[in-house]
Structure 1
Amino acid sequence: MNWLRAGVLGANDGIVSTAGLVVGVAGATTSRSALLAAGVAGLLAGSLSMAAGEYVSVSSQRDSERAALEAERQELAEDPEAELDELTRLLAARGLSEDVAREAAEQLTERDALRAHARLELGIEPDGLANPWHAAGASFLAFTLGALLPLLAILLPPPGLRVPVTVVAVLLALALCGTVSAALGGAPRGRAVLRNVAGGALAMAVTYAVGRWIGT
């Protein structure tokens, strides 16, 4: 579910940033080649930036989790009794009686002490550490797919309809993204859609005004 929500947010970013860019350029010129160049440049810059940022973020998180696991492994090797007592306290804090918590801690320790401490103490799944390459690729793809909509919407219609078609297509797409995002997060749909659509409309209005001003 988290990866789906991240994909929706990445596509949303691609829609808004690319729409603002191409609508701004459309306010300054009717040249299809200029729109294509600006749109493709914005798409690539945005998707690569998103991918790089996600890679760095997830890599830092993964390094931190690996360091925590290594420290826990060392503590288990140096003082297993203290770690067993700690695991017992963690289980007791979750509602188990002292005797049951001790028995459960002993069984978990015999089965896989590091995994038990990683889950209960650190909140880490040792076999489920995030892959930075997967995260970067997902961000790149989500942003690219989102950016393609305003790019195609500004290029395909005749000059007089480019901006209106793009605005309508973008606002509909943002309403859909807001609906999906609200559903995934359990938030009120109306507020999420309004916030999403209003932000996209404002971005396009500002960049179009700047484009018109520069173009004239």
Structure 2
Amino acid sequence: MTQPTHHEAHGGALGSRLNWLRAAVLGANDGIVSTAGLVVGVAGATQERPALLTAGLAGLLAGSLSMAAGEYVSVSTQRDSEKAALATEKRELKEAPEAELDELTGLLQERGLSREVAREAAQQLTERDALKAHARVELGIDPDALADPWHAAWASFAAFTVGALLPLLAIVLPPAHWRVPVTVVSVLAALVLTGWASARLGAAAPGRAVLRNVVGGAVAMAVTYAVGTLLGVAGA
């Protein structure tokens, strides 16, 4: 007989972990597409390795720092909103505890409990930790696991950087005549992987996600390469 596992992730913990994984995959995907478009565009104008390396590194740093800053601001705003909501709830619990108990009872009833069971559960939850009970049931917030803006910023920075390194290395390492083909093949293969991963993490069918990812990346590289080639010819 199989024994139950005591370390499985359930509920909010699993959902939070999947959200972080999905964000990491999407961050890496952004790094792949934006950096690939940049270096392939430059490759259309010149095959000089220093120019390609400079452009790629500039795109990697600009993109990763931009992603980190944007994520920091976004998550900081979310955290401030969560703290404000918790402060309001704490004040309401102090000023009108009975009304808050009735509200919690009603919320539990909406989740399928009978009036009697909901009342008993609300009373027990309130006695244990009223603020935590209302935060989780009413606000959908876990007071013990508020969003960390620095964590989000570093995660976005790392994910974008990892994704951007692929097209950067693919464009500077091979011989000149192989640079664009190697980059295109490598990027499209990586986009298949990130498209599949994002779809699976989102419990969606991977086929359409992969197709959208690959087509979007291919179009981005084709356009930037064409522009780079035109500019290279014009400047010759």
Q: What interval of TM-score do these two structures reach, taking the shorter chain for normalisation?
A: over 0.9
Paired position in structure 2 for 1:157: 174
Say which of 19, 30, 33 aligns to 1:2. Answer: 19
Secondary structure of 1:127's partner? coil
Equivalent of 1:53, from 65, 70, 94? Answer: 70
Question: How far off is 1:183 after superposition?
Answer: 1.1
Letter of the structure 2 residue corresponding to residue 13 of structure 1: D
The alignment status of 1:38 with 2:44, answered yes or no, reads no
- In 2: Cα distance, 1:81 partner to 1:189 partner: 49
> Within the alignment, does 1:181 sit opposite 2:190 as a pair?
no
Please state how far the C-alpha of 1:102 moved relative to its aligned partner. 1.1
Structure-2 separation of matches of 1:98 and 1:154: 66
- What is the deviation of 1:88? 1.0
Partner of 1:166: 183
> Does 2:212 correspond to 1:195?
yes
| Partner Cα separation in structure 2 for residue 79 and residue 184 of structure 1 | 42
Deviation at 1:179, TM superposition (A): 1.0
SS of the residue aligned with 1:30? Answer: coil
Partner of 2:157: 140
Structure with higher helix content: 1
* Inter-partner Cα distance in structure 1 for 2:229 and 2:50: 18
Could you tell me which residue of structure 2 aligns to residue 120 of structure 1? Answer: 137
- CA-to-aligned-CA distance 1:144-166 (integer Å, 9 cap, x gap): 00000000000011111100010
TM-score (ref. length: structure 1): 0.99
Q: Give structure 2 stretches of 5+ with no counterpart.
A: 1-17
> Which position in structure 2 is the counterpart of 1:107?
124
Candidates 64, 71, 86, aligned match of 1:69:
86
Quick one: distance in 1 between partners of 2:71 and 2:113? 39
Hey, what does 2:148 align to over in structure 1? 131
Q: 2: CA distance between counterparts of 1:152 and 1:160? A: 15
Letter in 1 for 2:177: G
The answer to whether 1:213 aligns with 2:195 is no
Structure 1 segments of 4 or more deviating over 4 A?
none
Pairwise CA distance, 1:94: 1.3
Please name the residue that 2:4 is paired with: none
Match of residue 26 from structure 1: 43
**Distance (whole Å) between structure 2 residues aligned to residue 102 and residue 40 of structure 1:** 60
Count of matched residue pairs: 216
Q: Percent identity?
A: 77
Determine helix, strand or coil for the equivalent of 1:86: helix
CA distance in 2, matches of 1:101, 1:188: 38
Cα displacement (A) at 1:99: 1.4
